[in-house]
Every structure is written in C-alpha cells, then in structure tokens.
Amino acid sequence: MKTTLAQLLLAAALLAGGLLLLVRSDRVARLADAQRSLLTLRYDRAADEQATRAAAEYWRGNYEAVAAGADPLLAANAAYRAAVAPGGDARTMVGRLDRVIKQYADVVRNDPANEVAAFNYEFVVRYRAAIAARGVPVPPAADTNATPHGAVGGPPAGRDNRQFKVMVPMRPDERQEAQEAGRSGRRLRKG
C-alpha cells in the first residue's frame, strides 16, 4: 500500500513537472519566433511578443513607442533618434540632446562595462558641443530607409556596371588547355 501511494505521488509530481516544462517550452518557442521575425525585418510579427515589442518599434522608426522601462540602452538610442529627427534651431537641439545625454549617463552608471553606451554617450556629448559652438540650425534627418543590415542597395547612380568583369575559376587542366583564361576548347561528349 505504501509503495503504491509513493508511486502515485511520484507520477503526479512528474506529470506536473512535465506540464510545467511544456508550458515553458511553448513560451520559449514564441520568443524564438518573435526574435526570428525581428531579424528577418518582419516587425509587425515581432511586435506581437512583449519581449521584442520595444526593439520592433525602434526599428520601425516609432521611437516614441519605445518605453523607458524597456532595455535602457535601446530607450536611450530611441530618445537620441527622436531628438535628432525633427532638427531645429541650435538651442532646441541642445536642450533635447541634454536629456539624451542624461539617459546615456544613467546607462553607463548602471553598467560601466557597456562599451556601446559609453561610445554613444561620448558621441552625443561631442555632437551637442559642436551644435552649441556653431549655433546654426540643424536640418531634419533624412529618411534613408536603412535596416539593421544596412541600406537597401542597388548599383550606384551614374555608374556603368559593364566595367565589372566576372572571373570564373578554372580547374588546372582547363587552364593548361585553354589559350585564353575563361575560354576552353571544344567540348567533347562523354559516354
């Protein structure tokens, strides 16, 4: 009787543990799917998951939607983008950049080993000093449609693409047979 009761209790504990692990694995799978969506530039799908919503809004260009309670570095980066995007006169820009500098300083204060935040802090401080020294209005930031992987590309305007030559590698025996690189003799059928 005792062994049967112990076995039933053990089976119930294992069943509860299995259900708990099943729920957790589902949550991790949803997070992985959201991160995959974020990396493949499907921001609407990435914004459905709470853990990747702030990053998705940042990369969409919706900087005001990035909550300050999110990743502090991401929130500071969003504040910088939001401060620089509209442009304006020097006094307004300096005031906006002062708030951004405070955010980066908080990030560096809380995590002194964060090199990205330290670099961004120094960059914004120097940018603010340059704007204050010049006193010239700053134009609005141009929308480049850049993604985390770089700007959408294509051939540069005004360039002739025919100047590029495609080099096809040849096997050593082809190089010996061919009189000119890239050309081979008459093809023989095999079989």
- Each of the 191 residues of the chain gets a pLDDT tens digit; together they read 788 888 888 889 999 998 899 888 888 888 898 889 888 888 888 888 888 888 899 988 888 888 767 889 999 999 999 999 898 999 999 999 999 999 999 999 999 999 999 999 999 999 999 999 998 888 988 776 667 667 777 666 777 777 777 777 878 777 776 665 555 557 777 86
- In the chain, the number of structural domains is 2
Query: Domain check: are 68 and 135 in the same one?
Result: yes
Beta bridge pairs of residue 138: 88
**Cα–Cα distance, 34 to 95 (Å, whole number):** 36
**Cα–Cα distance, 20 to 144 (Å, whole number):** 46
Query: Domain check: are 125 and 100 in the same one?
Result: yes
Instruction: Flag whether 9 is in a domain.
Output: no
Query: Domain check: are 37 and 51 in the same one?
Result: yes
Query: Domain check: are 30 and 78 in the same one?
Result: no
For the entire predicted model, the pTM comes to 0.67
**Where in the sequence is the domain holding 44, given as residue range(s)?**
15-60
Instruction: Flag whether 99 is in a domain.
Output: yes
Instruction: Flag whether 93 is in a domain.
Output: yes
Query: Domain check: are 88 and 114 in the same one?
Result: yes
